[in-house]
Amino acid sequence: MQTRTLGTQGLEVSALGLGCMGMSQSFGPRPPREEMITFLRAAVDRGVTLFDTAEVYGPFHNEELVGEALQPVRGDVVIATKFGFALDEDGKQTGVTSRPDHIRAAVDGSLRRLRTEAIDLLYQHRVDPDVPIEEVAGTVKELIEAGKVHHFGMSEAGVDTIRRAHAVQPVTALQSEYSLFWREPEEAILPALGELGIGFVPFSPLGRGFLTGQVTAATEFGEGDIRASLPRFEGEALQANLALVDLITTVADGKKATAGQVALAWLLAQKPWITPIPGTRRLERLDENLAAADLDLTPEDVAELDSASASVPVQGDRYPEAMQRMIDR
């Protein structure tokens, strides 16, 4: 597996990471724990070094799973986790919070569940409008100085917020959605990251499975599948958006690749400091995704994909309204 460096802070990771959320929530029934432990270790054997989790995934289950699976190879991998959501006694999200005392408690909990002495990359999961970002960055800076955290990251943050945080504690990476299905980061985010020397970790780089070609107009999302509530996957919006997959598939056929591989290779071709984290829990899908790192797209291929994306305006918001309001822009 090729490696990349996220920004200028020296964090080296595999060209493709692994998003672990779906092993605990959002995409149907939770798979057997031992099966996922075996799967995570197989990913390490294939050269994956960046594993993405969060305290809220499950909640808590995902960090525990990742911690157990990666403990035997802890020195060979980079674990990224996140703080930033308030949870009640039953683990239900009650909003965002980045108060310093919450951050410290969240980190201590994550360290315990991940079975590690330090978190490689700690993201603020969502910006808290009630806590100045300078205070958040300062708290993470203290945790870095204490040896509990190595790198600071942000998720779904806007340019102004990133700049203010970066001035207090250098930000190693930003995590936000980016794909041929959602190109908003190109407008302001990517130029700012390049200027500041911050890496970019796109989540949902395959549009939550949409860009693999496995989703059709007839697809019915089962119980516990978040896509059933996402506007992009509903009725007429889904039907309209499928035109993009058809165009990507045309390029993929010419490369003797899958649509998903082409979509990931397109992301890798954008910047050398971009590391996507497609999520999967199936070994055959993991192998398919990782092969994208070896797929060379010509400038003509990239131009054709850009044109295809521009010709199909995406219908529907990324999230339901309540979740959409949590995005800092």
Residues in CB range of 75: below 8 A, 6 or more apart: none
Measured CA to CA, the distance from residue 287 to residue 246 in angstroms comes to 23
Measured CA to CA, the distance from residue 18 to residue 140 in angstroms comes to 24
Q: What is the DSSP-derived secondary structure letter of residue 91?
A: S
Q: What is the CA radius of gyration of the chain?
A: 19
The beta strands (E) that lie in the chain are given as 3-6, 11-14, 18-19, 50-52, 78-83, 85-87, 93-96, 119-124, 149-155, 171-177, 199-203
Catalytic site positions: 57
> In Å, how far from its chain's centre is CA 145?
26
DSSP 266-293: HHHHH-TTB----B-S-HHHHHHHHGGG
Q: Token pair of 262, please?
A: 């082409």
Question: Residue 185: is the preceding peptide bond cis (ω within 30°)?
Answer: no
